[in-house]
Homo-oligomer: A and B are copies of this chain.
């Protein structure tokens, strides 16, 4: 699509929207024209919410999760189990696990994953602070909830070696056939592992 000669203001706004991932020029134009039809207060609200977020957001000093305060809501929640830490790559993973409502421990956000291809080494991640937390002695179990990819496994192995000297219990997420999957379409590695790690059938008697 060509530039709209009628307004540079419009062009600028469309270009800014089109920088967002997954938003092309046509969608950007549609969104901008939508905002143009809204009241000035609404557009101010939109604009300010984004600017406020970027300028005022903090990262929890303990777990490096996104937070409005120095210590995030999860770390400062006394009802949670502070002896268990779930190690994740990004804040999105924290949200995903929180949404399951199956976990009541704390988190540790690495901020990425060891990936030599992308130039990300252990020193770029929040690994030292994890070791410090574990060495403080309160933590009994560390759950590695990392991607089941080569990079995830590498990171997992690296952390395992780093924490091996401590007496902490280390676990990883169960691998197996996803709920709702048809066996026919499950990949061989997953299916193979789910046979090796088969579980006792348990029904309420």
Inter-chain CA distance A67–B7, complex, in Å, is 5
Q: In the complex, which residues of chain B have a beta carbon less than 8 angstroms from the beta carbon of A15?
A: 49
Q: In the complex, which residues of chain B have a beta carbon less than 8 angstroms from the beta carbon of A60?
A: 6
Inter-chain CA distance A91–B7, complex, in Å, is 11
Known A53-B13, A57-B9: A33·B92 in contact at CB below 8 Å:
yes
Known A21-B31, A46-B19, A68-B9: A4·B95 in contact at CB below 8 Å:
yes
Q: In the complex, which residues of chain B have a beta carbon less than 8 angstroms from the beta carbon of A56?
A: 9
State the number of copies, please. 2
Interface of A is mostly: helix
A5 x B73 contact (CB < 8 A): yes
Give me 11 A-to-B residue pairs in the complex whose CB atoms sit less than 8 angstroms apart, sorted by A's number.
A6-B65, A6-B66, A6-B68, A6-B91, A9-B56, A13-B50, A13-B52, A13-B53, A35-B50, A43-B50, A47-B47
A45 x B16 contact (CB < 8 A): yes
* A side interface size, CB within 8 A: 59
Q: Please, what's the 1-or-0 string for A60-97, where 1 marks a CB less than 8 Å from any CB in chain B?
A: 10000111100011100000000000000001101100
Additional A-B contact list (10), CB under 8 Å, known A5-B98, A12-B53 = A2-B98, A6-B73, A9-B57, A10-B57, A12-B52, A15-B49, A22-B31, A43-B54, A44-B54, A46-B50
Inter-chain CA distance A66–B40, complex, in Å, is 16
Say yes or no for A1: interface residue by CB 8 A criterion: yes
Say yes or no for A195: interface residue by CB 8 A criterion: no
Say yes or no for A173: interface residue by CB 8 A criterion: no
Inter-chain CA distance A32–B49, complex, in Å, is 10
